Amino acid sequence: MEVKELQSLGNELISKIDEKQDISRTEVLTMSQLVEEFGELAKEVNRKDLRGQDFLKENLADEFADVFLQFSKLISQFNLDLEKSVLDKIEVLKKRHGLD
Ligand SMILES: [Mg+2]
């Protein structure tokens, strides 16, 4: 599955949830949900150093997925192409650092 397809699946799901819960989605709402999900991811990443517990792969995967879904939704709300943006940036970074 390509990034665009994954993004589209996620966006479709978020739209259905929004409709079901009568949520009016703005860029600010998605941004705040993204930050919320980053917080949940940070809690899982801190599990080892802060709580002396082993990482739980299932929880990490779940939180990374939440971050991706909100992140890709936000990109779509700004009508940006995630794949193109990342590929363009990779080229900029390669040039900046003198890499091929
Ligand atoms: Mg989460």
User: What domains appear along the chain, each with residue ranges and CATH number?
Assistant: 3-96 (1.10.287.1080)
Report the range of poorest mean pLDDT among 12-16, 82-86, 90-94.
Answer: 82-86
Q: How far is the CA of 59 from the centre of ligand 1 (A)?
A: 9
C-alpha of 41 from chain center: 11
Proportion of the chain above pLDDT 70, given as a percent: 100
Q: What is the mean pLDDT of residues 30-44?
A: 98
Say what the pTM is. 0.90
Residues with CB under 5 A from ligand 1 (ion): 37, 40, 63, 66
Q: How far is the CA of 63 from the centre of ligand 1 (A)?
A: 5
Q: How far is the CA of 85 from the centre of ligand 1 (A)?
A: 25
C-alpha of 76 from chain center: 12
Q: How far is the CA of 61 from the centre of ligand 1 (A)?
A: 10
Tokens of 92: 């900029």
Question: pLDDT tier at 30 (50, 70, 90 boundaries)?
Answer: very high
Question: pLDDT tier at 85 (50, 70, 90 boundaries)?
Answer: very high
